[in-house]
Structures are given as structure tokens and as C-alpha cells.
Structure 1
Amino acid sequence: MHSTRPFLRDLSDSRRKGWEDGLRDGYAEGYFRGQAKVIVERTKTSFPVRKIKVLYVSSGKGFPYSPIDEAIVETLKTLTASVITAETKEPIQKLAEKNRPDLVLALDGMDRPVEQIDAVRALGIKTAIWLTDDPYYTDMTKKIAPHYDYVFTLERNCIEVYRGLGCRNVYYLPFAAYVSHYRPTLTRSAINRKISFIGSAYWNRVEFLRPIIGGLMEKGLKINGLWWDRLPEYKQYPGGIEIGKWMGPIETSEVYSGTKIVINLHRSPFDETVNNNTAKIGALSPNPRTFEISASGTLQLVDSREDLSSFYKPGVEIETFSNSDELMEKVNYYLSHEKERQQIALRALERTFRDHTYNHRLNQLFGYIFK
């Protein structure tokens, strides 16, 4: 093996330091990716395959709901004897009468006439709905939920809401990470970002980030999503804000994995310009992005919600913030404490693959329905 010392002697001090730093960073990156690979390959849970037939009713809304539909359908195939998928225009009751499934499971349900669900129940077939946007559209979902035998909500605050409407079987079931979409890049990533935020510019996000947007941009923030021209200063950051691009799950996962810190800022349940939540039901539970970021092998900084600690240990598997200043402080800290950042990211990755995949959630759903 040839020594690098003669080569280093020929370099200036600054170039030599740059070369050494690059070598060290490259080694650290490779070691980190190797650890992530070990976690992904070893963290596998076996689930029972139930001898049941499921008729799955997709949301019918296209993107961004279609990746969730895909995650559920592909997972159902591994957990059941048979899966039939209802397309948007197909009458559910006719499919149910023809195939006699053990369960009709609908996602979202807002674009399906409830009369079709009533007809399925009249056949003696169990029905369930997994609501996608609680509590943001409860004005609509409160009209839908009572037509199903089982109601699954991803917001803990909505359990008593649906029970108060006479729904007998209501369960808390957040979404999860579909690990065929969301997983770390296991070789050196082609993407090299310091900070990312991916999501729409709801007004609460704009207001939260405005006081620190300059500092975040100086640290390397990149934003992708809709409506970011709402940010008055957006023209000052042409390389930092990509407006109008909604990325699919694979591309999103690659960006997450190639970013040191990903910010997750929940939307507000009280924004009357986009929500249908006149009862002003609050939000306690983490959004689906919480699990997807963690599954991608990166450090997540998320605004604290009460039920978050039911899924990840703050300060151990995930980091939280309660105001703009705290977010900025933690960005500065973890950009200068690489080893701590990586260890939290790896713990989140392991926890997600161990506890928070769609296999876990659908196995739990079946447990509630089929005891």
C-alpha cells in the first residue's frame, strides 16, 4: 500500500486540511450508511397471514393519497389470503355481493356514497373505514363514520367524537412508514443537503418560519412544496425554495435520506381557510410524515405534539421544538454535533422498522376486527 504522506507534504496547509476533512467525512458517511443497512436488514417482524378475503376501497383521490393506497394494498397481500381492490367508479355493494369478502375496508371514504356501505352491511359483511385527515375535515367525516361497523382514526382526539355519534367500534390507528417507499439510501447519497423541509406552505408554517428563515437559509435550508410564494421573502432565496413541486414518495425519501436534518412542522387544525373543522377539535397525534422521515435514516426536528412520545422517545429517537428560537438552536447544535445527530437518526430508523410499518398497523387493525 502506498503511503499518502509524500502527497500530503506537497499540498498547502489549507488544501491538506481539506483533503483530510474530505477523507474523514467520507469514512463517517460510509460507516453511517453501513450501520443503517444493518438495521434495515435485521429489523424484521413476522406477522400472521389470516385466512380472510378483503375488499379494499381506495380513496379515489389520486396523489397524494395514491401512495397510501399502494402501501395498504401491497401490505394486505402479505397478511391475507385474498385482496380485491375496488376502483373509483365500481359499485361496492355489487363487488361485495359477487366476492363475499370477510371485510370491506375503505380509505378516506369521502368520495363514496354511504348508501353503498349501508348495502354492504345489509349483506352481513363487516365494514371498516380508515380516516386519513382527522381532525382537519371532521365536518365531513362525522357524516360518514356512523355508516361503518369499525372506525379507525389517526387522531386520538377524534375517538370520543365518533363514539359520541353512536359509532360502537372506534380505534386509534395512525398511519406508518411504507418501507418499500421510505428507507435510507444505503450507499453514498447523491443528495447532500444540510436542512430540508418538504410540505405545503400552510399559513401557520409561514408564520412560524418567517422570524428565522434567514438564519435557516444561511445554514443550508432547502424547501420543496406548494404555496411558498406566500412567504413574503421567498424571492430572496431562489436557490433555497422550490415552489410548486410535489414530490412522490421515492424522491421524497431520497431527499430525506440525503439530508442531515429534516424539519417536520404540523399544519394547524384551526386554519379556517383550508380545514372543515368547525368544532375546532385539536390535534394531539403525529402526522404520517413523522414515521416516513424516521424510516429514511435522518434526524427529524418536529414540533412537539402530546402523543408523539407514544411512538418515539424525544431526545433519544427524535428531537422536538416548541418555538422558532428552539428550532434554530437545535439546528445549530446538531449541525455541529454529527455523531449525536447520526445516533438519534439510527435509533429512529430502528424504532420505525421495529414498530411503525404498515404491517404493524394492519395486523393491529385485523386484531380489533377479528379478535
Structure 2
Amino acid sequence: MKVVVVGSRLIDSLERHLCDSFRALGHTALLVDVADGLPVSSKINYWISRFVDLYDRAISRSIADQITKLRPDLVVVVYRYLHPILVERLKKQLPGVLVVQMNPDPLSNLEKQQIIATDFDYYFSKEPYIAHTLRDKAGLNAHYLPEGFNQRIYQKPPVEKAVAEWLTDIDVLVVGSLYAYRARMIEQLMRAGIRVTVYGTQGPYVRSGVRTAVRPNYLIESEKNRLLYGAKIVFNNFHYAQVSSVNQNYFEINGIGAFQLCDYKATIDEYTSVAAEQITYRTIDEAIDKIRYYLAHPAKRHAIAAQQYAHFQQYHTFDQRVTQLLQTIGLTPLLDTEQLKLDDWWDD
């Protein structure tokens, strides 16, 4: 089967991981980016498209024509801000070909609600609340599908965890964009005397005390594996707009055998192999207490990390997510009953 994924070519993007999984499962996967062949930068294109409807339509028609020339059997659109005319044109030019939307973003990132206005055959979201709202209120063919991790890229380094921690010398590691909400939480950890190291891009309004912890590097692949695994604790505080879902880092951290402490979200009860209360927090004070506890009990955190690693390797790879997507749209046989029941979560 030939699959076209519409989205970003950035090296660590969800779209590239999806293409890799489609290929690993025996399909031909091609990536089409809105930036392909643009006369302007991606950033300029985004802002022109946001305010100039004629330009927005023209870009989406151009992308549809690029996809049509590839003659795919399935189109998976990850971008959330493309004009609805994209899918309208694809359905005219590729009759019978399924066009699905896969949204990896929280509620606050739905732009101008283009994906809701577009007639996709299927909608997939990592956020149960979004899937429920689109399906049960807007009447769309929407399904819950969590993110995962690419086990061919994010792998456990070949060294004992205790040795990796000694070599890395990081007590608490935070990875990701340093926006104001995340920075406030990090500031409270630092005030409690916890040694925090942050890797990621720095947003506006970050105060000077937090800036001292920032290493302005975007971690990917082997360096990300090394630092996550080598940190004693990876502190993962999700975006405040994620109602009950987690981020992709959540799966990558566990999938390489690192120890993670994160916000409690209802979906974690479904994902984890250990009791959620052991590896989550509901308040910053609880987070501080648990960080101090696990820093003082290395054997406990190593055991939890090893258990989570085995579980996530078995149940939470992108290969499994792609198989679940294909199963839902009727292009593969049903998985066995132990696999994730995608549409039962909200009703439970």
C-alpha cells in the first residue's frame, strides 16, 4: 500500500516517525510538506495563509495536486491549519481513497478549527476529550489514538543505569520548549533546592533565575537517549491545555528506560505498568516531595524505570499505533483483544 503523510519534514517530527513505521510494516510511505517548493519561508507562508484566504486556498490546492500525482492508497494529514479545500480537492481527484486526520496537539492548538471544518473520512486525536467532542457532539468519525515512540531511534543506551547517571551528572532533567507555565514550575523546583537542567528552546517572559538552568539545545536521537537515560529523574510537566492526554516525550522517556515523574493525567492509568501514583504528581509540592524521595532511593527508581521500559517496548511503539490506525479504518485485520481498545476509553 502507498501512503502519503502530509506534515513536517523536521527530523524529529511525528510525521517522520509515522512514515518510518509505515515502511517498517511493509508499506510505501511518502512525506509531503507544505514547505515543499514554497517561494517564501514556512513562517511567512503560515502568516500569509492565516490572513489571506486566496493564498491559503492556492497553497492547499497545490498540495492536493502534489498528492494526486503520487497516486496514494491512503492519505494521512498531520498538519492542523490547512484549508478545507485540500480534502475537497483530493476527494474529487482521488475518489475512493481514504483521507484521515491525525492530530497530535492539545485543545489550545486547533488554530481556526480547520480540521473540524474539513470532511476527513476519519479523525484521530491523542486527547480523549477532543475525540469525544468531535464524535458525540459534532457528529464526526473521530477516534482516540495515543502517541507513541519510535523504537528504532529511541533506544536504551548499552550501559547500566547507575553508571549512566554517574557519567551524566544530572539530578532532574526537563526537555522541551520553555514557555511561561513550564518555567514557573521549574522555578519552584529550583527554589526548593533541586538541581534542575533544562534542554530546549526558550520562550518569552522567562525570568533570569530559570535561565541559568537552560541549555539551548534541541535534543534528538542518540544525544536525547543518552541524557534522558542518564538523568536521575526526567521531570515531564505537560502543557496546561492537555486535558487528559500526555505528550510524545512521555512515551520516549519510558521507551528508552529513563525514570520519569510527570503530571497525573487520566490516560496514564491506561498506559503505565506501575501504579500511576508512584510516578505522577498532582501538585508542585507533591512533585518536590517525590523528587527528593527518588533522589534518595536510586534502587527504587531504577526498578520502576526497568519495568516501564519493558512494558512500553511491548505496548506503546509507533508501529503499534500505525497498526491500530489501519485497523480502525479497515485496512488491516483486528488486533488481538489485549491491544488498546481505542474507542472505549471515554465511556469507561
- How does the TM-score come out when normalised to structure 2? 0.77
Distance 1:181 1:140, change over 3 A: farther
Distance 1:165 1:364, change over 3 A: same
Per the alignment, residue 89 of structure 2 pairs with: 119
Cα distance in 2 for residues equivalent to 1:166 and 1:250: 43
**How far did residue 225 of structure 1 move?**
2.5
Cα distance in 2 for residues equivalent to 1:193 and 1:344: 18
Cα distance in 1 for residues equivalent to 2:111 and 2:105: 11
Distance 1:57 1:241, change over 3 A: closer
Are 1:348 and 2:308 matched, yes or no? yes
Return the match for 2:257 from 294, 297, 307: 297
Are 1:204 and 2:153 matched, yes or no? no
Cα distance in 2 for residues equivalent to 1:221 and 1:85: 37
The question of whether the paired residues in 2 share the 8 Å contact of 1:201 and 1:225 is answered with yes
Per the alignment, residue 159 of structure 1 pairs with: 131
The question of whether the paired residues in 1 share the 8 Å contact of 2:6 and 2:79 is answered with no
Per the alignment, residue 319 of structure 1 pairs with: 279
Return the match for 2:202 from 227, 237, 247: 227
Distance 1:95 1:205, change over 3 A: closer
Distance 1:216 1:306, change over 3 A: farther
Distance 1:81 1:313, change over 3 A: closer
> What SS class does the counterpart of residue 146 from structure 2 fall into?
coil
- How does the TM-score come out when normalised to structure 1? 0.73
**How far did residue 251 of structure 1 move?**
2.1
Cα distance in 1 for residues equivalent to 2:217 and 2:68: 42
Q: How does 1:1-371 map to 2 (within 5 A)?
A: 52-59=1-8, 62=10, 66-88=12-34, 89=36, 91-110=62-81, 112-122=82-92, 123-124=94-95, 125-144=97-116, 146-163=118-135, 164-167=137-140, 169-187=141-159, 189=164, 190-217=167-194, 220-227=195-202, 230-232=205-207, 234=209, 238=212, 240-242=213-215, 244-269=216-241, 283-315=243-275, 319-370=279-330
Q: For each residue in 1:253-305, what CA deviation from the matched residue of structure 2 results, as whole angstroms up to 9, or x when unmatched?
A: 22101111110001112xxxxxxxxxxxx611111111011112111100111
> What SS class does the counterpart of residue 193 from structure 1 fall into?
coil
> What SS class does the counterpart of residue 370 from structure 1 fall into?
coil
The question of whether the paired residues in 2 share the 8 Å contact of 1:55 and 1:101 is answered with yes
The question of whether the paired residues in 1 share the 8 Å contact of 2:80 and 2:115 is answered with no
The question of whether the paired residues in 2 share the 8 Å contact of 1:201 and 1:226 is answered with yes
Paired AA for residue 360 in structure 1: Q
**Larger RCO, structures 1/2 (Cα 8 Å, 6+ apart):** 1
The question of whether the paired residues in 1 share the 8 Å contact of 2:84 and 2:118 is answered with no
Q: Which has the larger radius of gyration?
A: 1
Q: Percent identity?
A: 22
In structure 2, runs of 5+ residues without a counterpart are: 38-61, 332-348
The question of whether the paired residues in 2 share the 8 Å contact of 1:299 and 1:318 is answered with no
The question of whether the paired residues in 2 share the 8 Å contact of 1:210 and 1:231 is answered with no
> What SS class does the counterpart of residue 133 from structure 1 fall into?
coil
The question of whether the paired residues in 2 share the 8 Å contact of 1:228 and 1:241 is answered with no
Paired AA for residue 225 in structure 1: G
> What SS class does the counterpart of residue 136 from structure 1 fall into?
helix
Per the alignment, residue 27 of structure 1 pairs with: none
Cα distance in 2 for residues equivalent to 1:209 and 1:81: 43
Q: Which one is further off, 246-255 or 223-232?
A: 223-232
**How far did residue 337 of structure 1 move?**
1.3
> What SS class does the counterpart of residue 197 from structure 2 fall into?
strand
Paired AA for residue 211 in structure 1: Q
The question of whether the paired residues in 2 share the 8 Å contact of 1:205 and 1:265 is answered with yes
Indicate the RMSD between aligned Cα atoms, in angstroms. 2.5
